[in-house]
Amino acid sequence: MASLSGRDLLSLADLSPKEVQDLLQMATQLKSQKLKLQCNKVLGLLFSKASTRTRVSFSVAMYQLGGQVIDLNPNVTQLSRGEPVQDTARVLDRYLDILAIRTFAQQELETFAHYAKIPVINALTDLEHPCQVLADLLTIKESFDTFAGLTLTYLGDGNNVANSLMLGCALVGMNVRISTPIGYEPNAAVIQTARSIANDKTEVILTHDPEDATKGANVLYTDVWASMGQESEADDRTPIFQPYQINEQLLSLADLEAIVLHCLPAHRGEEITDEVIEGSQSRVWDQAENRMHIQKALLASILGAE
C-alpha cells in the first residue's frame, strides 16, 4: 500500500515512479471497494480559485474516509484583509490535519508548506496541477492496462496541466508530446525536470505542429486555451490556437484505439468539439470521476488511514 505518511505534495516531481504506481494501485482498489480505509481527520480546503471537480472530489473523498472537511474561502478569512500567509499557515497548522491549497502562485503554496507542519497538497497553482494528472494516469491505466509503449499528446496552451503531464508521463514511463503555438510553451524548468526523470527511457517532445504531434498517439489531451486569470486574453488567443482544436479530423490521425481526455471545464467548439467530447473515444467523465478515487488514495496515504 502506498505510504506518503506526513508528506507534502507540491509537485509531481515530489513523487518517485514507485510511489506513483502505488498510489494508482491503491486508488484502483478503493474504487473497486476491494480496499476500505478509515481516517478520522480534518481536511482544510483553501481555494483562491473557482473549483467544481477539485472541491467536490476532495470533499467526498475525505467524507468517505470518515473524516471531515472545512471549506476555507479566502474571501471570508483574514487573508482577504492582508494577514501574512505565514501567519495563517501557522494557525491552520494547529487546527487541521491536512490542507489542500488552490491558488495562483506556486510560491504561495510553498510558503504555506514551509510554515505549516501539517501536510500540504497542491490542489492547483499556475505552475502545476498534480492531482489532476494523477487522475489522468489512473484513467489511462484503466483504458490500456499499461503505460509501456504509449504516447500521450497534449494540444493547446503550455499551462499547469501541460507541466504536470510532462512530469507524470515521465514518472510512469510513457512518451509525451506537448504541442503548443509559438510563445505558449510549458515552463522551461519543468521541461528540464521531466526530461531528467525520463532519462532517455521515454520521450518528452515539444513541437508546434499539432498534426505531427497527433500521428499515432494513444491519448489526446487538451485544456482550455485561456486559464483562470487569463480570460481577458481569450478572444486574442482563439485564432492562434484554432489549429490545435481536437476535432474528428485531428483525431483521425491518432491511433485507432486512442482515447480523448480533457480536465474540464470544456469550452466546446473551441479546444474540443461536441462530437469528440461526446464520442466513443472520450474518457472525460471517467477521468473526472477518478479525481475522487486518486485523491482518496492520496489522503489515505499521507494521513496513514487504516
What are the catalytic residues? 102, 129, 132, 223, 263, 291
For residue 250, the tally of other CB atoms under 10 A from its CB is: 22
- Residue 17: CB atoms within 10 Å: 12
Question: Cα dist. 59→28, 97, 118, 247, 296 in Å?
Answer: 19, 14, 18, 34, 9
Is there a contact between 7 and 14 (Cβ–Cβ < 8 Å)? yes
Contacts of 257 (CB under 8 A, 6+ apart): 218
User: What pairs with residue 98 in β-bridges?
Assistant: 43
What separation in angstroms does the CA of 238 have from each of 6, 28, 142, 241? 43, 38, 33, 5
User: What cell numbers appear for 54 in the block?
Assistant: 477539485
- CB neighbourhood size of 84 (10 A): 12
